[in-house]
Amino acid sequence: MLEIKNLHAALEEEGKAILKGVDLKVNADEVHAIMGPNGSGKSTLSYVLSGRDGYEVTDGSATLDGTDLLDLEPEERAAAGLFLAFQYPVEIPGVGNMTFLRTAVNAQRKARGEAELSATDFLKVIRERAKSLQIDADMLKRPVNVGFSGGEKKRNEILQMAMLEPKMCILDETDSGLDVDAMKLVADGVNALRSEGRAFLVITHYQRLLDHIKPDVVHIMSAGRIVKSGGPELALEVETNGYAEFLVEEA
């Protein structure tokens, strides 16, 4: 599904290298976790994959089902099936959550040559999916993420994911700022989407999210590279011993 080869990327303005040769392959139906200390390049990887401005890819490739992602605009990557759940979901005053979601769903359908969803059909689907994430009608009506609590914002991200039905989901520190109950709710939302060949890349500092979203493969990232990969036990090891033993010396 997602194949990253020797990916190098730098901050455009400062020219500072952040990703220094990332290799990663995520197959359909798999959940991969990337763990690592602050500054290891985890979030940068998610931004480079989703096409945020400000990063320059200096080497390597990233493909989604064979399509070169790095050549595409952010909206084209989304239409190709990539989804990034933001660490800090953006507040957009003046844009209703529901309007936003419907515009997004239909924009993607249009890009894929599918018929747009009617207002009634859309409403039916969103009500059902919002309910399981405990998102009420008021949250759907309010402007996107404005005045939402940390937990509400993350649930809203998962709702977007559920509505857009991407095939490759990247979750960037979705556990940050969540209490145990909120984390469980978010994890349940994610787990409900684990099917139909969908793959996940879960970026996190801590092992606790992985108690709820069980990964098939765990990677440790340090200084812009994946330095170790293994099974779920790797996450437990980090939990006990910290990252020290995995860290690479900066050149």
Partner 1 sequence: MAAPARISPARQRAAEQRQSLTEARIAALGDLPAAGWSAEARRDALDRLRTAGLPHGRDEYWKFTRPDSLTSAEPKPAAVFTAGDPEIFGDLDRVTLVFTDGVFDAAASDDPSLAGVTVERLAEATSDIHWARDLYGVLEAKGQTPVVRPLAALNTAFAAEGLLIHVTGKADKPLHIVYNHASETSDAILHHVIRLDEGASLTLLENGPAAARLNKVMEVDVAKGARFDHVRAQGRDHERRAATHIFARLESEAVFKSFTMTANGVMTRNECIIDFTGDDAVAHVAGAALGDGDFHHDDTVFVTHDAVNCESRQVFKKVLRNGATGVFQGKILVQPGAQKTDGYQISQSLLLDGDSQFLAKPELEIYADDVACSHGSTSGAIDETALFYLRSRGLPEPVAQNLLTLAFLAEAVQEIDDEALREAIVERLSQWLDRRLDAGHDSPGGGAEG
**Chain positions contacting partner 1, by CB under 8 A:** 50-53, 73-75, 77-79, 83-84, 86, 89-90, 92-95, 99-100, 103-105, 107-108, 111, 143, 160, 164
Q: Which long-range contacts (CB under 8 A, 24 or more apart) does 186-193 make?
A: 186/151, 186/154, 186/155, 186/158, 187/212, 187/213, 188/132, 188/212, 189/132, 189/133, 189/155, 189/158, 189/159, 189/161, 189/162, 190/158, 190/161, 192/132, 192/162, 193/161, 193/162, 193/169
Q: CA 73: distance to chain centroid?
A: 17
CA–CA gap between residue 182 and residue 190 (Å, rounded): 12
| CB 145 to partner 1: min, Å | 9
Q: Which is nearer to partner 1, 90 or 244 (CB)?
A: 90
Q: Which is nearer to partner 1, 67 or 229 (CB)?
A: 67
Residue among 56, 117, 112 at smallest CA distance from 82: 112
| CB 170 to partner 1: min, Å | 10
| CB 161 to partner 1: min, Å | 10
Q: Which is nearer to partner 1, 155 or 225 (CB)?
A: 155
Task: Answer yes or no: are the C-beta atoms of 5 and 209 closer than 8 Å.
Answer: no
Q: Which is nearer to partner 1, 53 or 138 (CB)?
A: 53
Q: CA 213: distance to chain centroid?
A: 13
Q: Which is nearer to partner 1, 52 or 214 (CB)?
A: 52
| CB 105 to partner 1: min, Å | 8
* CA distances from residue 124 to 120, 162, 163 in whole angstroms, order as listed: 6, 13, 11
| CB 9 to partner 1: min, Å | 16
| CB 54 to partner 1: min, Å | 9
CA–CA gap between residue 73 and residue 200 (Å, rounded): 21
Q: Which is nearer to partner 1, 32 or 102 (CB)?
A: 102
